[in-house]
Every structure is written in C-alpha cells, then in structure tokens.
Amino acid sequence: MSNTKKLRQPIVVVLGHVDHGKTTLLDKIRGTAVVKKEPGEMTQEVGASFVPSYIIEKLAEPLKKKIPIKLQIPGLLFIDTPGHEYFSNLRRRGGSVADIAILVVDIVEGIQKQTIESIQILRDRKVPFLVAANKIDRIPGWKANYDLPFLETIELQRADVKAYLDNLVYNLVSKLGELGFNADRYDRIRDFTKNIAIVPLSAKTGEGVADLLALLAGLTQRYLETKLRFAEGPAKGVILEVKEDPGLGHTIDVIIYDGVLKRNDIIVLGGINGPIITKVRGIFVPKPLQDMKLSKYDLYPIDEVYAAAGVKISAPELDNALAGSSLYVVENQNQIEEYKKQIEEEIKEIRFYSSDTAGIVVKADSLGTLEAIISALKREGIPIRLADIGPITKKDLIEANIVMNQAREYGIIAAFRVKTLPNIETGNVKIIYSDIIYQLIEDVKKYITDVKESEKRKTLENLILPGKIKILPGYVFRRSDPIIVGVEVLGGIIKPKYPLIKEDGKRIGEILQIQDNKKSVDRASKGMEVAISIKSNAMIGRQVNEGDMLYTDVPKEDLEILVTRYSSTITDDMKEVIKDLIRIKRAEDPLYGLGLQI
C-alpha cells in the first residue's frame, strides 16, 4: 500500500416504514450500478453491495453544474438487509458501524410510526441521515422521465404538479421539525451539517436516484473524512447474522468496518455463554455475477479482505455466537484477555438482571435488537428487571411471576423474535410477542396502561374518598335513625357506606343510600342535590342541624394512597375538601396528611 491517505468506502444503511420502498430503492441502486459498470469491476458482498465511485460519477454527470463532484472514496457500501432488526445489529460500543443512513419515506403517506422509530434509533446511534422522499411517480399528474436526475425531471413537470410536490416536501419538513430536525429539499440547503437533506425520487422509475447517490458520496467524503481514513492493522467488525450453512456448519455474516481480516486469524467475539475465541477457517463472498441476484450459498473463498466489507466467516464454535456482537482480530496472544474483557463489558451493558427492580422481562434474538428495545422502553419510562438473548426459559417466567406479585402491570415478558422453550408452562404470565420493535413497545405500553387502569378502578372503589355536603334547610324527611335529608354536594364525592363526620371531627354515622330524583345512585359529586339516608344514633335538631356541613371520614391511609398514587384523579374541588379534612382531623391526629403534596 502507498503512504498517501486513502479513504475507505462509507457504509450506508437503508431504513424506513414497511412498504415505503426500502428494498425497491436498493434494487434500483444495484440495478443501475450493474448497467453502468465496467467489466469485472462490480462486486457483491455478504449482506452488502458495493457501488464504485466511477459509477456514481457517471450517474451524477448531468448534475455537475449544480453538484460538482470528484470522489476520492472508492465508492459506497450499501448494507442491503433493510429492516430494523439488521440495522440494530450494526452496532459498536457508543454508536453504529454505519457512517450514514438513507431514511426512505413514502412522500404521499409521510412519516409513520416505524419511520419515527428509525429516526430514534439513528439518533441513539448518532448516525447522520438523508431522507429519500420516495414514490414521486404517484403524485397526481406526474410525468415519469425514467432514470433522470430529480433536478432535470422536476423542470419537465406542470406548475400544479411542482406545487403539489412542494406541499408534500413541506409536510415532511414540518414533521421532522416536530422531531427536532431542521430539514429542506436538498437543492435548497447551503449547510448540510445543520439541515437534513430531502431528496425526492422514485425507486420505481429511477428519477432522483442519481441525486441521492451523488449527495451521499459527496457528503460522506466531505464531512466524514477523518472517520473514513483507511486503517491498516487487525480487523474490527460486527456480527450481522448467525446462520447454519450446508457444508460449512455455523457461520457468521460480518461487516468489517476497520482493518484487514485474513484466513487463519484468531478472532474474539461475543457468545451466549461468554466470549468465544476461535480461528478463521474460511472467508467467503458471493461470486461476481452480472445481475447480482445471487443464490444464498453461491459463495467462493478468499484469503483476506479490507474494510469496509461484508463477508461470511466459517470457524469452529460459532453455534453460540451472538448477532450484534463486536468481533476483533487478535494480533498477538497478549490481546486475548483484553478483547475478552471488552466484549464482556459491552454485553453486560445490554444483558442485565436487577433483582431489586419491579420491571418487565425482555427477551430478544440479538444484542442489537435487545439494545434498541431497552432504549425504547427507557424512553417510555418502563422499568426492566431482566434483559437477555434467546428463548423464554423457566427462569424468565419465575422472574415475571415475582414481579406480578409486587406490581401486576409489570409482570410480563416482552419477546422479540423468540419463542418459549418447549414443555414450559407459562401460567398466568402475560407474554407479548412481536417481530416489529415499535409494535412490541406499543403492545407493552397498552397492556401496562390497561392493567394500571383496572388496578386503579379497583383501588379507588375500595378507598373512602374526600367529600363535603351541606344539609339543605327545609329538606329533612326523617330526623332519627335512619336520618333522611336532602343535601348539596359542595366538593369531592360521596358514596353509600362512607362514614360522615361533623366540622368538629365527631362521627355521626354512615351513608346507607343516595337517591337522585327518587332513583338510587352509587355516587354523587360536586353540584348535585340528592337525598341521602344515614345510619346514625344522632338526631336532626340535637347533634346535627339543618344547614350543617358534613365530611366523609377519610382514613389517613386512604388519603395517602389517593394523593401519592392517584393524584391525577383529584379535582380542584376535592383538593379544597382535603385541606378542610386535614385541618379537622389534625385536632385528634397531628400526623394526618403530614408530608402530602396537595
């Protein structure tokens, strides 16, 4: 190798909502690249497609007046396994191996739930991104001009079609603004470090694909130059997927993002039961074919590979390898313990158990997806007791059962692309399965909310709530046990079986029944005028009089539960009643209501 500075190709990942055209766009990029290629210069790699810089320059030729481009990077390496689960595995400690991302959005449908999830993962991993505003060919009145750059095809459209497109782009700009990003159509941006570029295109017709590739290449070369500097030395990579391949046994698909990987190298990687140290038996890439549509197993061996690249590695003891784990080549034996410790610490941050936490159990199929799910749950404020890789075990069910007895709403298992081990009784534990991250989070949130609401209803039904009533003068129907009077509810709530006290704190009896317009009701609230019967030894005209104020006799424990756990149910009028009750009850109990924030 020469001593001149060399840039490695940027690693590009494609994300977006289901059916917004991720795969179609990748296919179009690959197909366009194949058409423009020179003999023997197109390469395909496991889990990735490499588009050389000269192809990008050819495609961008019509744009040279508006996007001057001369590339030093070898090209762009597209990770062509679109989907959150694979992108989640493109992780390394503190970030992602992806240099830049394309966020595919259907320009007509706009930003959806899974788009927002993609943005959140990109934000978490600190990955810059462009927006591919796909399906411009579906805009009413759009005239398709196959494979033309966007800046050319837009000039061939009618004025009303241009205006319609501008409105759709503005909608994307507004939504991205709500999510905390400045954005605009790419040809209207001066500083790409401060604005997200939106590239209108059609993966179907190829319009705008040249603009996207030219912008990706130019931006990564300009803004990520220090990150892209070619690094010699032992390889570093991340495991995209673990597979069992006929004739090879267990293999790992790996993205090498730094250094050089050679056959017979010793590698350290994460395993289900701890770090795995093994020797590279074989490195494989697909055979170079004209149409790039390759058989899964049409691979040929190579002796070494330079970053960045996607390869399949065969080696002993890979059956327990962890997708999403880092992979390091060991240059000398002294580094083995150092790398083992690094991997152990990295995995420990994601796979954890906290016996003190009343939280949910999370099980996922890879480190990357587990990390993304944990991050999403933490944003929602959902506590986690146990997070791990692999199928649901008896231990997981025991942990969920323990939590269920402490906080029923969290006694659940959230399972992403994993199942329960055979012959295990799940009992009363709720297991929520999904293979879409945002759907799993939504389902967990809904279950927790539903259980909390159910528990709240049950608890509130058993609490004596604060209430204040006035005996209406002229509405005494029976003076002694049971007293029957007309009352106005001045604040809070009254219900049958609630005990009543006077303003001096003395108990006068218990509500037997409430009637509103001669119909029995189970409660009365502020502003209602109702008749009530009171089981009481007191008499109207002696211990109690017309015009007197009466209060529900709320036990100290009930008041504490109401204020600390269900403060959102306390109305303004109920707050005033609570203040009166604290004043009345403290004559007997100085600790009543002490420390409560009313």
Q: What is each CA distance from 414 to 347, 380, 384, 391, in whole angstroms?
A: 19, 14, 10, 11
Please report which residue ranges of 94-191 form alpha helices under DSSP H.
113-125, 150-153, 159-178
Closest CA to 107 of 140, 134, 137, 143: 134
Residue with tokens 């991104």: 129
| Bond preceding residue 496 cis, omega within 30 of 0 | no
17, 20, 84, 250: the active-site residue: 84
Of 530, 509, 534, 535, nearest to 520 by C-alpha is 530
For residue 556, what are the CA distances in angstroms to 409, 505, 559, 581?
Answer: 26, 14, 5, 10
DSSP state of 370: H
Tokens 């197993």 belong to which residue?
297
With 0-12 CB in 10 A as exposed, 13-18 as middle and 19+ as buried, what is 335?
A: middle
Cis peptide leading into 321, omega within 30 of 0?
no
Write the single-letter amino acid at 358. A
Edge-to-edge order in the sheet of strand 100-106: 43-45, 48-52, 75-79, 11-16, 100-106, 129-134, 196-200, 183-185
Verify whether residue 84 is a known catalytic residue: yes
Q: Say if residues 44 and 52 touch (Cβ distance below 8 Å).
A: no
Positions marked active-site: 84
